[in-house]
Amino acid sequence: MYQILKQILRTGIKSETPPQADEALRVDTQRLQQQILDAFGGALAIRQVDAGSCNGCELEIHAVNNAYYNIEGLGIKFVASPRHADLLLVTGPVSRHMEIALKRTYDATPEPKLVVAIGDCACNGGIFCSDDADENYATCGKVSNVIPVDVAVSGCPPTPTAILQGILTAISARK
């Protein structure tokens, strides 16, 4: 125990200031009222759904939980069930094999709910879809082809700061 405490003290506090919301990331017009968003802003529960990603975006979503970005310090946490969630964080091009699971996860999330699409593939199909078609035999392409999306964060993968910014944009009011 002494060694653990010593190491914690030696490490110190690493957390950095979170980014500001960015209106440019918003896809859909605000679907929720301000008072609901204010309530979300206090404590947000996120359900992450990998709908077909290469696992690159997941690495950065893990990183959002590390001491530098410290998402839990902002009152935002990842939960184990869509029924506990306010917001779905979805990666992928949506594979056809995940289409039903994603729709069911969306349906299982109680209203009011938000969806943030993470990564180039979730925004436009990415490298897994060709330039002339945003789908193929195995994928439905971008997330908004399957469920409504509020905010889309591009990047391959987007940085933890960009992911955090996307989440904060979703729960902030449209200026």
Measured distance CA(48)–CA(105) in Å, rounded = 10
Amino acid at residue number 90: V
Cβ nearer to another protein, comparing 97 with 174: 97
Cβ nearer to another protein, comparing 30 with 95: 95
Nearest-approach distance from CB 89 to another protein, in angstroms? 9
Which tokens belong to 136?
A: 């193929």
Cβ nearer to another protein, comparing 103 with 174: 103
**What are φ and ψ of residue 134, in 5° steps?**
-95, 30
Which tokens belong to 133?
A: 């078609």
Residues in contact with another protein by the rule CB under 8 A: 3-4, 7-8, 11, 14, 48-63, 65-68, 78, 80-82, 92-93, 95-98, 101, 105, 127-128, 130, 136-139, 156-157, 159
Cβ nearer to another protein, comparing 4 with 24: 4
The overall longest dimension of the chain from CA atoms, in Å, is: 61
Nearest-approach distance from CB 97 to another protein, in angstroms? 4
* Cβ neighbours around 127 below 10 Å, total: 10
Nearest-approach distance from CB 82 to another protein, in angstroms? 8
Rg from Cα positions in the chain: 17
Nearest-approach distance from CB 128 to another protein, in angstroms? 5
Cβ nearer to another protein, comparing 120 with 150: 120
Nearest-approach distance from CB 111 to another protein, in angstroms? 19
The answer to whether 112 touches 36, Cβ cutoff 8 Å, is yes
Q: How far is CA 88 from the centre of its chain?
A: 6
Interacting residues of 17 by C-beta distance below 8 A, sequence separation 6+: none
